[in-house]
Amino acid sequence: MRALKCLPSRRVVPPSRGETMLTVAVVLLVVTALLTAALAYSKYRHSYWSSRGIPTAPGLLPFVGHTHKFFTNKTPMWLFTDEVYRKVGGSGLVGLFELHNPTLLVFDPELIKAIFIKDFDHFVDRRNFRLTGKRDEFFNEMLTQATGDHWKGIRSVISPAFTSGRMKGMFPLVGAKVDELVTYLHQEIGSNPAIRLKRCFGLFTLEVISSCAFGIETNSLAEGTSTFHTMAEKLTEFKILGMLKFLLALLFPKIFQLLKLSLLSPEVTFFKDIVTETIRHRDSGEQRRGDFLDIMLEARQDQQESTSKIPKYPLKDLTIEAESFLFIIGGYDTTTSTLSFVTFLLAQHPTEQQRLREEVRDIIKEHGTLTYQSVMEAKILDACISETLRLCPPAFYIERQCTKDYTLPDTSVIVPEKTIVGVPAWSLHRDPRYWSEPEIFSPDRFLPENKGMIKAGTYLPFGLGPRNCIGMRFALMEVKLALAKIVDEFELSCVPGREQIEYSNHVGNMRPHEDLSLIFTPVGK
C-alpha cells in the first residue's frame, strides 16, 4: 500500500483589524442605504394627499402612518380626530394613513351629505374585511360587513323588523323589562343608593335584547348577572390577542388567511349556538312571538313555499344567525352607554330633569300609562336624548368605503376605489360654527320649533343616508321608555366628588367608565 502523502497544513490567517472594520463599514453602508431607501419610499407613499393639495393630519410616523392613533387606549380616538379637526380641518378635508394606505377625514357638512346621500352609489359599503376561512363565513353575512347587492338584499329583508307597527308590537316586551329595571333599582338602593350605571343598564339592555330578539329570558336583572351578560361583557373587553388578530385581518388579510386564523371567539360561538338552537325550536313548532328572529324566519319560509311571493333576498340560516348576533353587539354596548350618559347629564342638570319628570307625569295623567305613541312623541324626552347623543355619541366616528373612483365636488381630486372615508361626528357635534355654546347641555336645541335650525350633516348619532343604523328606531324606543320610567320613579343626583362624566379608555365606541355612578332617590308621586 502506498503511503499517503501528507499535505502541508495551511495556517489560517485571521482578518486584519482594518479588514474587519472595512467589512463592518460595508454592512453599515448597505443597511443605511436600505433604511434610507425605505424611509424615502415611506415618505413618498405618505405624500399622497399633500401632492393633491389636501393637508395631512399631524402625528404621522414612517411606515406606520396614523395607525397607532386609532388603536391605542392611551388617548381616545375622538380626541385625536378632534385635534386634527381643529388644527387642519378648515379645508373640510384631511388625509390620514393606515400604514401606507391613504384614508380621508371629511369635515364639511355639504361634502358629508354628498358622500352619504347624494353620491351614495360611490360609497355603498362600510369598511369590511373579507374572510375566506370556513369558520369566518358567519362574519361575512353580518349586515355591517355585507357589501353591494349582498347588503341590499339582507337589508331589504331585515328592514320590516323595524317599522312603526313592529315597534309597537314589541313595546309591551320592552315595557316588561323596564318594570324589572325599576324593581332592580329599588332593591339595589336598599343597600347602596349609588348605582354603577354601566353594569345596571348593561343588565337591562341585555334583557331587552334577549327577549325581543330571541324570546329568551335570561333573568339578568333578577339575579344580578347571567351567563348571557358575562359573555356579552367579554365581547366588549379589550384583549391583546383579539386586537392583534383583528388588525391582521384588517391590514394584512392575505397573511391572516395564510396563517389560517379566525375571528370566531368562544363568546361569538356562545351566542351563535344560542341562535342556532332557538331557530331549531321555532322550526319544530314552538310558539312564535313576533320578535326579530321570527320576522327573519317568516321571510325564509316565504322563499321556501313555491306558491308564495319570493322575497327580494333568499335568507340562509347562517345569515339569520349573523343578523341575530349583530342585534346583540350592535345594541348592547351603544344602548347601555346612551342610558348611562343621559341619566348622568340629567343628574348634572336638575332643572332639565324636573322638566322631563313633569312631562312624563303629564303623559301618565292623560293616558293612564306610558303608551307607545305618547312616549315616541314626548318632546322633552326626545330632546334630552338627542342632546345627549350630540354631546356623547357612542358611535363617534362614521366610515364609508369608496366603491368606485369618486371626484370630489368642485375639485379635480379623485378618491380611489377602496379608500376609507371617515367623519368625526363628535367634533361636528361640538363645533361652535354649528352649535351655540356647544359644550353646554341644552335639550331645547332639539325641540320641534328649533330642529329646523340644525344644519344638515352636522348631527350624526346614527349615521346618515341609506346605510345608517337600521336599529335606530328600536334603540330610541328602548331608551325613551326606560328613561321615562326612571325619572318618574327616582331623582338622579351625582355622587359627591364625582360630578363629571368619566369615560372608558377602551378602544372602540365611546362608553362610560366602569365605575361611573349616580345616586337614585325614590320620589313621591
Higher pLDDT, 24 or 308: 24
DSSP letters of 252-273?
-HHHHHHTT-----HHHHHHHH
Sheet containing 194-196: which strands, arranged edge to edge?
194-196, 517-522, 490-494
Q: Decide if 414 is inside a domain.
A: yes
Q: Decide if 33 is inside a domain.
A: no
Higher pLDDT, 21 or 282: 282
CB atoms < 10 A from the CB of 11, how many? 5
Give 117's contacts (C-beta < 8 A, 6+ positions apart): 464, 465, 466
State the pLDDT confidence band at 125, using cuts at 50, 70 and 90. very high
169-178, 229-238, 276-285, 286-295 — most confident range: 169-178
Q: Cα-Cα-Cα-Cα dihedral of 179, 183, 186, 188, to 10°?
A: -120
- Which residues is 401 bridged to in the sheet? 125, 420
Residues 164-198, buried b or exposed e (16+ Cβ, 10 A)?
eebbeebbebbbebbebbbebbeebbeeebbbbbb
State the pLDDT confidence band at 525, using cuts at 50, 70 and 90. low
Residue 482 has what pLDDT? 98
Inform me whether the pLDDT recorded for 478 exceeds 50: yes
Inform me whether the pLDDT recorded for 310 exceeds 60: no
For residue 236, how many C-alpha atoms fall within 13 Å in the half-sphere facing its CB?
25
Cell numbers placing 510: 365611546
Inform me whether the pLDDT recorded for 431 exceeds 80: yes
Inform me whether the pLDDT recorded for 18 exceeds 70: no
Reported as a single tens digit per residue, the pLDDT across 442-452 is 999 999 999 99
Residue 17 has what pLDDT? 67
Q: Decide if 15 is inside a domain.
A: no
Inform me whether the pLDDT recorded for 81 exceeds 60: yes
Residue 290 has what pLDDT? 72
Q: What is the mean pLDDT of residues 99-112?
A: 95
CA distances from 462 to 206, 326, 338, 444 (A): 20, 16, 12, 20
State the pLDDT confidence band at 418, using cuts at 50, 70 and 90. very high
Residue 71 has what pLDDT? 72
Q: Are strands 517-522 and 194-196 parallel, antiparallel or unpaired?
A: antiparallel
Q: What is the mean pLDDT of residues 265-280?
A: 87
Residue 262 has what pLDDT? 81
Q: Decide if 85 is inside a domain.
A: yes
Cell numbers placing 426: 363628535
Q: What is the mean pLDDT of residues 442-467?
A: 96
Inform me whether the pLDDT recorded for 453 exceeds 90: yes
- Which residues is 519 bridged to in the sheet? 194, 493
CA distances from 203 to 220, 270, 332, 514 (A): 6, 18, 9, 13
| Total count of domains within the chain | 1
Instruction: Report the CATH number at residue 245.
Output: 1.10.630.10
Nearest Cα to Cα of residue 444 among 357, 360, 382: 382
> Mean pLDDT of all residues in the chain?
89
Q: Are 175 and 496 in contact (CB under 8 A)?
A: no
Reported as a single tens digit per residue, the pLDDT across 36-64 is 999 999 999 999 999 999 999 999 999 99
Inform me whether the pLDDT recorded for 227 exceeds 90: no
Q: What is the mean pLDDT of residues 188-204?
A: 95
Nearest Cα to Cα of residue 435 among 364, 387, 483: 387
Reported as a single tens digit per residue, the pLDDT across 130-139 is 676 677 788 8
- ∠ CA 99-103-105, nearest 5°, is 130
Reported as a single tens digit per residue, the pLDDT across 296-305 is 888 777 766 6
Reported as a single tens digit per residue, the pLDDT across 341-351 is 999 999 999 99
**Residue numbers of the domain that contains 61:** 52-522
Inform me whether the pLDDT recorded for 289 exceeds 80: no
State the pLDDT confidence band at 1, using cuts at 50, 70 and 90. very low
Q: Decide if 504 is inside a domain.
A: yes
Higher pLDDT, 235 or 443: 443
CA distances from 468 to 124, 126, 312, 411, 471 (A): 11, 10, 20, 27, 9
Q: Decide if 1 is inside a domain.
A: no
Q: Decide if 158 is inside a domain.
A: yes
State the pLDDT confidence band at 229, using cuts at 50, 70 and 90. confident
Q: Decide if 37 is inside a domain.
A: no
